Amino acid sequence: MAKMAFCFWVFLLSLPILISARRSGVVSQNSFEVKKQLKQLNKPAVKSIKSPDGDVIDCVHVSHQPAFDHPLMQNHTIQMRPNFYPERVSEESIEVTSSSKSSKPIITQLWHTKGRCPKGTIPVRRTKRKDLLRASTIKSYGKKVHISTPKPRSADPGFTSQSGHQHAIAYVEGDKYYGAKATLNVWEPKIQQPNEFSLSQIWVLGGTFGQDLNSIEAGWQVSPDLYGDNNTRLFTYWTSDAYQATGCYNLLCSGFIQINNEIAMGASIYPVSGYKGSQYDINILVWKDPKEGNWWMQFGNNYVLGYWPAFLFPYLSDSASMIEWGGEVVNSESEGQHTSTQMGSGHFPEEGFGKSGYFRNIQIVDGSNNLRDPKDIGTFTEQPNCYDVKVGKMGEWGNYFYYGGPGRNPNCP
């Protein structure tokens, strides 16, 4: 009995050491995975630029970017410019602009104050160890959760609660679409929880919602989980299987091929609009090259950023079946209570210019590669007392809409 008691006490005394060793093994393994992922994402830089917001922008040789980790890209010849631009795009000024009468040049991204990337390279926002550690898993870093695209014709009242995502959008469907364009003002909406986000974007869609959806997305977003701060940032996203296994934000996986050396995806946009103050716009155009079939993105008048190769999207190989413009937030609050995360400016559409978020000059690209005004524009929002959308048409703004809202309020508890 005494021998058994002695063995029991030895076991108890050694237990913390065993637990510590086991924990050490887990940490060591996680550390290895983190280092491996960082090496995969952060390619060797020709030059690095420290941005005032804490970002590091690495100037990576164009042929060394993450896109070429894809097995089907090994022998890919980079298309350095699109064969065709949609007609009418050159007739309009689509630089970042202010509603004030000042003609001073506006810095489109904050890191530009500290330098530029040389020709032959692309700017890539460096992923840091703390970025990966914020993700639920290392593999999920840079990816959206499932079911995050609005489903305008959905009659299922449980759709919102299932996905946790809410929208205020304008959309068109029922035709073949070869691209979309919009000018949208940029805000810095307040986010309640770090795992929530608020974004404003264009969706180019094909396939079936929730099953095999193909989606190309571009706009601005505030996402503390992804970026570690509350800055407003330019972003892109893509998926070819309804957000299940394929796709990612920006350049965080192989897919999008960037050719531009001036604009960094995921980098801060500066300045942003102020309530009752100056309004700052960005212009985004996504279109399909009729010759090569690749889907291109342009930011502003001079910044053709790059393209998503045609082979990524089985349902977008010919055209898109739906275009959407608008806002999206994540509501992570428990049942019965709504997040106070803001969409757009955080104010409802009724407040109008200088106070509410807007999209103006929304257009689609038709089969003749022409920019056209969309027909039969629909709107969709799950809870209009939380976030809403109002469309209109007038003069230089063409087809437009105001959108957004504060989230939780007396009418949205």
Q: How does strand 280-288 pair with strand 97-98?
A: antiparallel
* CA atoms of 297 and 155, how far apart (whole Å): 33
| Cβ pair 64, 44 in contact under 8 A | yes
Whether 217 is a known active-site residue: answer yes
User: What proportions of the chain, in percent to the nearest 5, are helix, strand and coil?
Assistant: 20, 35, 45
Query: What 8-state DSSP symbol labels residue 346?
Result: S
Question: Exactly one of 188, 196, 328, 382 is catalytic; which is it?
Answer: 328
* CA atoms of 83 and 67, how far apart (whole Å): 21
Question: Exactly one of 188, 196, 217, 324 is catalytic; which is it?
Answer: 217
Query: What 8-state DSSP symbol labels residue 370?
Result: B
CA distances from 139 to 243, 245, 252, 260, 332 (A): 13, 10, 11, 27, 21
* CA atoms of 351 and 244, how far apart (whole Å): 38
Whether 91 is a known active-site residue: answer no
Query: What 8-state DSSP symbol labels residue 69?
Result: G
* CA atoms of 362 and 284, how far apart (whole Å): 10
- Does residue 397 sit in helix, strand or coil? helix
For residue 189 the two structure tokens come to 């909406």
Q: Looking at the chain, how many residues does it have?
A: 413
CA distances from 88 to 252, 285, 396 (A): 33, 12, 14
- Does residue 310 sit in helix, strand or coil? helix
Active site (catalytic) residues: 217, 328
